[in-house]
Amino acid sequence: MSEDILINVTPFETRVALVEQGQVQELHVERSIQRGYVGNIYLGKVVRVLPGMQSAFIEIGLERAAFIHVADLRQNRKERIEGSPATPIEKLLFEGQSLIVQVTKDPIGTKGARLSTQISIAGRMLVYLPYDPHIGVSQKIDGEDNRQQLKERVQRIANSEEGGFIVRTQAEIATDEELQTDCVYLKKLWGIILQRLKSQGAPSTLYTELHLHQRVLRDVAHPNTGKIIVDSRMVYQQMLEWADVYTPALVDRIYHHSGSRPLFDTVRAEEEIQRALSRRVDLKSGGYLIIDQTEALTTVDVNTGGYVGGRNFGDTIFKTNLEASVAIARQLRLRNLGGIIILDFIDMEHHEHRESVLEELRNALAKDRTRITISGFSQLGLVEMTRKRTRESLSNLLCEPCPTCQSRGSVLTARSVCYEILREILREARQFNPKEFRVLASQDVVDLFLEEESQHLAQTGDFIGKSISLEVDSLYSQEQYDIILF
């Protein structure tokens, strides 16, 4: 099934939408002042080694020091393959040491970037591994004979003991000439990085990943991609030039959008972005999902809602869960949710129904390019899965914690605020002796004091022997208030 790619470009932001059958399946956002760091290569300096955690902090020039675990050091690769114990990090790194590192995960929340010394440079057909002299093949390429043929072709073309390669899925239909071009390009790029290494001190940037519109051509576009439409003439020209050199097969699929209607409006992408920031996702049947994202994990709860279309209750539940499986797979891509994900499907009595739902979920997730693992239903009836997280989710990128509710996701009721104000007045009355207390609060809080809570307000005034007046401040949120002493 073909997939169109829409690229919306502004001076401050580039957004990419992957559209299948008129519906947005995936969103990517790159802001000019918040470009991601995954794939960037740095000359870093070790600032702290933590033997107890078998980790180290590396200064690479970002706001926070980056983080590397002993398992991500290339010196331990052989031990990992053979199953031998890893060499302790304190024997491999020391404070002040300079180190070539690559970012594998962007800074997320309060965590710094995650690093690796196992450097890899991605091309269109191949991924170059300068420190790892072996040829690997992407797991997404099927057929043992096909995999072996590709491996032998790359070994013949590379014809070098310097480094190794991973064969990407695009290489399945590539000619020997295209593979050779990719191989030469990647080795030349590594040579440029080594030249920079000789002239720069730590911390410094040795290589910066491609811009989003170029990564789309390299990583996202595939043989079944339909049109690639961009609404910036300058970026359109850049993409044509880049594709002419590295991805000639895509040149005829790149189009410039010159219509008066905004590009993202043609597929209602703006509406999809707004829906992707909501907790609730409505299903066509009348059921719905509730998606909650926390720092530790993401939970997805499936509910039947208003759907009563089945022949019986069990049939209704089964059909809702089947529809939810497809919707969940799409939402994970759309929102870029990663880490541990817990799926709470509606309880099903029949074992075959549970297996069918799992199979539907696996089929829907097969389109996802991100690495995913799924377990079956647990004893509690939950499905546990993981999705590799390399960059911020859509909500973390576009939103920030709510200042009104202090990131709780809820606010105190007007009645709770009223009682808090009364307790504060009693507290102040013990310490000070003003003539009057004046309460500044939101309209809802003042209205409640004048109506249902008027008796408690009067009792408090009588108890402290002072008058209490009320004043509305339209700029105050429900939880905000001030008590002024006269």
Contact criterion met (CB below 8 Å) for 179 and 126? yes
Q: Are residues 193 and 106 in the same domain?
A: yes
Q: How far apart are the first and last CA of the chain?
A: 73
d(CA 407, CA 159): 56
Q: Contact 297/339 with Cβ under 8 angstroms?
A: yes
Q: In this structure, what CATH number is given to the domain that contains residue 451?
A: 3.40.1260.20
Q: How far is CA 334 from CA 269, 302, 397, 457, in A?
A: 11, 18, 13, 50
In eight-state DSSP terms, residue 225 is E
Domain assignment of residue 408, yes or no: no
Identify whether 405 is part of a domain: no
Secondary structure letter of residue 223 according to DSSP: T
Do 309 and 383 belong to one domain? yes
Q: Tell whether 50 and 31 lie within a shared domain.
A: no
Burial class (CB in 10 A: 0-12, 13-18, 19+), 191: exposed
The answer on 232 and 181 residing in a single domain is: no
265 plus 353 within the same structural domain: no
Last residue of a domain, one of 270, 292, 317: 270
409 is a domain residue: no
Asked if 178 contacts 20 with a C-beta cutoff of 8 angstroms, the reply is: no
Residues 13 and 133 in one domain: no
Does the pTM surpass 0.85? The reply is no
Among residues 334, 361, 218, 366, the alpha carbon closest in space to that of 267 is found at 334
Contacts of 477 (CB under 8 A, 6+ apart): 404, 411, 442
Domain boundary, last residue among 152, 181, 204? 204
Say what the pLDDT of residue 305 is: 78
Same domain? For 361 and 380 the reply is yes
| CATH number of domain containing 266 | 3.30.420.60
The label of the residue with tokens 């189009």 reads: 255
Q: Domain ends where: 270, 296, 320? A: 270
How are strands ordered across the β-sheet holding 13-20? 23-31, 13-20, 3-9, 225-230, 254-256
Q: Which helix (H) or strand (E) holds 165?
A: strand 164-167
Q: Is 95 helix (H, G, I), strand (E, B) or coil?
A: coil
Residues 186, 326, single domain; the answer is no
Residues 427 and 384 in one domain: no
Same domain, 441 and 381: no
Residue at 407 is within a domain:
no
Taken in order 97, 100, 104, 107, is the CA torsion positive or negative? Answer: positive
Domain coverage including residue 220: 3-35+210-270
| Neighbouring-strand partners of residue 20 | 23
Q: Are residues 237 and 131 in the same domain?
A: no
Question: 């998606």: which residue's tokens?
Answer: 291
pLDDT of residue 302: 94
Find the CATH number of the domain harbouring 341.
3.40.630
Paired tokens of 419: 């009682």
Q: Cα torsion at 19, 21, 23, 28 (round to 10°)? A: -10
- Identity of the residue numbered 134: H
Number of structural domains, the chain? 4
Q: What are phi and psi of 458, to 5 degrees?
A: -65, -40
d(CA 353, CA 316): 11
Per-residue pLDDT of the chain (486 residues; tens, 9 = 90+): 678 999 999 988 999 999 998 889 999 998 887 788 899 999 999 999 999 999 999 999 988 999 999 989 988 776 666 667 778 999 999 999 999 999 999 888 778 899 999 999 988 888 999 988 888 888 777 788 888 888 888 888 876 667 888 888 878 777 888 888 888 888 888 999 999 998 888 899 999 988 999 989 888 888 788 999 999 999 999 999 988 887 888 899 999 998 888 999 888 888 988 889 899 999 988 889 999 998 889 999 999 876 666 567 788 889 999 999 999 999 999 999 999 999 999 998 888 999 999 999 999 998 888 889 998 899 888 999 999 887 788 888 888 888 777 777 788 899 999 999 999 999 999 899 999 999 999 999 999 999 999 999 999 999 999 999 999 999 999 999 999 998
CATH of the domain at 87: 2.40.50.140
| Domain assignment present for 367 | yes
CA-CA-CA-CA torsion sign (436, 440, 445, 451): positive
Are the C-beta atoms of 58 and 105 separated by less than 8 Å? Answer: no
Structure tokens of 376? 């079956």
Q: Based on the domain organization, do 221 and 248 belong to the same domain?
A: yes
Whether residue 231 is contained in a domain is answered as yes
User: Does residue 406 lie within any of the structural domains?
Assistant: no
Residue 70 lies in a domain: yes
Q: What is the pLDDT of residue 137?
A: 84
